[in-house]
Structure 1
Amino acid sequence: MHPDHTPQWPVEVHQPTPIPSPVVHSAPVVPVQPGTVPTVASIVLPDGRVVTGYAIDHPQPQPVTDPPAVSRTAVNVALGGVGFFAVCGGLLLLTSFIAALTAFIGQLIILAAVIFGGWIAVQVLSTSGHREGGTTVNIRRAVIKRNHFHG
């Protein structure tokens, strides 16, 4: 600009505003469980400063769940009882089957004895009675000398 020349519009002068340095406070000591390290979070503020610190996890309430209507133990006991009665029923049927089979075999043995005994009785009784045909041997006239039979 020339010294004789004055600007036609008003001039505003802006002076930078100093940002006061943050006051350093000592951070409280956070108790840490042994073996766990808390997470560190950094936040950038709108004026460009960065704030770093430990993230605090807020405890979350557990979701409310309804207890089951029937306990697992009761269900297991009931299923065990059903299985036990099913096995007992099967064993009862098995023993009934074995008893029936034994009785049937016993009746077959008795029937065979009666039939065979009747056949033997018929054979014995038919030889002592009336004969039709066959060979007749007369041993009255035989001579026995010195334990030898001469016919």
Structure 2
Amino acid sequence: MSRRKTLPSIAKPFAHVHRTLATLGFTQSSAPTGVVYELSFRDPSSSRIYPFRLYARTQDNGLTHINLNEASFAGKGEIPAAIAGAADEILVDIADYMDTGSFQTSSQPAQSPMNGRMASNEAEVKRLGRSMANMRTSAQVRESGMSPDPLQ
């Protein structure tokens, strides 16, 4: 997989790295030198799965370090151009999200529920459901050559 430009090396708090990668669909597993995050790409024409891996290491200062240029597909063999392109887009998205994302988590205590914030009545819930049913998924947006919305 060849990238047109060099991607950054990222050092952020573990919670921020983990939350961002988990939101993008990566799963976490342990490795001898740190943590491995894996995202599986499926080729629709052959139904073959291509696992894509990022390696994270904890630095002496407590930050989690990811070198996006070390990201690679597991195993040997030819990677279809569409799959490699999708992986490159994900890496660019990760760099953007890590750079612009907030490090602080704003959580409400469990004693103060946030009911009624999305929809105030049943008719509004039904209307929101119909509009959500017509929205394209991130995968469909990527297939059309566009970038999906940033993390919400």
Q: Report the TM-score range of the alignment, normalised by the length of the smaller protein.
A: under 0.3
* Bigger radius of gyration: 1
Question: Higher relative contact order at CA 8 Å, sep ≥6: structure 1 or structure 2?
Answer: 2
Provide TM-score, normalisation by structure 1: 0.17
TM-score (norm 2): 0.16
Query: Which has the larger share of strand?
Result: 2
Higher helix share: 1
